[in-house]
Structure 1
Amino acid sequence: MDRAEKQELVSTLNDTFKSTGVVVVAHYAGLSVSDMTTLRGKMKEAGAQVKVAKNRLAKIALEGTDLAHMTSLFEGQTLIAYSDDPVAAPKVATEYAKTKDKLVVLGGGMGQTALDADGVKALASLPSLDELRAKIVGMVQTPASRIAQVVQAPGGQVARVIQAYADKGEAA
């Protein structure tokens, strides 16, 4: 990698660190190429991304961002998982780490908040933004459907009474 490529990578990482919702740092030593491909696929499905970068370049990219507190995590073979949704990357990384011993979550950051491994696991246990939105929509729709049922109920009862009289009249 020449100097221009390094500068481009640092610039890209810096933009990512400034604009992303959450970043997770993990050791990946010993993961096979197929394991990494699987991890990347799962991250992509969840709306997150994984990047492997040299620690020195990642530390330079962290300078001047809210995530500058994470520089101590970049030791050894590390990867960066990030997403705009504050739950997506931690959730996928934590679940994948349960199945693969070689992936070890070190910590991360969400804005100016530093996260240790337990903090990332706690964040992963929260529902995602889409799940929360679905719950809110369900909560909003439930009262509306109940109101519609209540409004329709008297009309339905009147119709049943009229139908009963009509049936009674035909029987007589």
Structure 2
Amino acid sequence: MTREEKAQLIAGLTEKFQQTDHFYITDTSGLTVAEINKFREMCFNKGVEYKVVKNTLIKKALDGIEGDYSELDNVLKGFSGVMFVNENANVPAKVIKDFKKEDKDQRPKFKAASIDSDIFIGEDQLDALSKLKSKQELIGEVITLLQSPAKNVVSALQSGGDTLAGLVKTLSERE
């Protein structure tokens, strides 16, 4: 690969990191070609982009974006693949976990993730990341919580209105 090709690859990778709020770094070494193709297919079906990139190129691309990603230097060793997702930060974690259920060697290995510039390192973080709620789920929960007291007030007023109407009717029928 020539210097120009590397520079173009780094520029493209830097742009991808800038456009994407969430990315995961994995190690798929030890998987067969068929297994890697199956993993790529699972990623594609869930809207996750997966790229295998040299660690030095990942480091250079991360140096070109805003934020401190120096914590990732320790995990950028060996074989690395990057999973990019824009909306639901938990989808790559779920893809990794689903694939691991089928693989007896527990591959791919989760190295690290960046979720809205927060860094998560180590295999033990994968469960927590898979349980993250999407922005839409959180908004839905907040709306439900906000609606609950209003619904109680409205139902109380409606039931009280029926009682009040019955009382007025009874009083008007009396002579």
TM-score of the two chains, using structure 1 as the length reference: 0.73
Pick the aligned partner of 1:122 from 92, 114, 128. 128
Pick the aligned partner of 2:36 from 18, 32, 41. 32
Q: CA deviation at 1:2?
A: 5.4
Q: What does residue 78 of structure 1 align with?
A: 80
Aligned pair in 2 of structure 1 residues 84, 39: CA closer, same or farther (>3 Å)? closer
The 5-angstrom pairing of residues 141-156 of structure 1 reads 141-156=147-162
Tell me if structure 2 keeps the 8 A contact 1:87–1:128.
yes
Structure 1 gap ranges (5+): none
Identify the range of structure 1 (74-83 vs 108-117) with the bigger mean alpha-carbon deviation.
108-117
Q: CA deviation at 1:88?
A: 2.3
Distance of 2:158 and 2:18 partners within structure 1: 53
In structure 1, what residue type is equivalent to 2:148?
A: T
Identify the range of structure 1 (20-29 vs 112-121) with the bigger mean alpha-carbon deviation.
112-121
Q: Secondary structure in 1 aligned to 2:121?
A: strand
1:96 equivalent to 2:98? Answer yes
Q: CA deviation at 1:115?
A: 2.2
Tell me if structure 2 keeps the 8 A contact 1:10–1:61.
yes
Tell me if structure 2 keeps the 8 A contact 1:20–1:83.
yes
Distance of 2:168 and 2:49 partners within structure 1: 64
Q: CA deviation at 1:73?
A: 2.1
The 5-angstrom pairing of residues 129-140 of structure 1 reads 129-140=135-146
Q: What does residue 14 of structure 2 align with?
A: 14
Structure 2 gap ranges (5+): none
Q: CA deviation at 1:26?
A: 0.7
Q: CA deviation at 1:69?
A: 2.6
**Structural RMSD (CA):** 3.2
Aligned residues: 164
Q: What does residue 158 of structure 1 align with?
A: 164
Aligned pair in 2 of structure 1 residues 69, 15: CA closer, same or farther (>3 Å)? farther
Q: What does residue 89 of structure 2 align with?
A: 87
Aligned pair in 2 of structure 1 residues 121, 38: CA closer, same or farther (>3 Å)? same
TM-score of the two chains, using structure 2 as the length reference: 0.72
Q: Deviations over 1:23-52 (max 9, x none)?
A: 32111231331332112322x1xxx53322
Q: CA deviation at 1:135?
A: 0.8
Q: Secondary structure in 2 aligned to 1:71?
A: helix
Overall identity of the aligned pairs, in %: 22
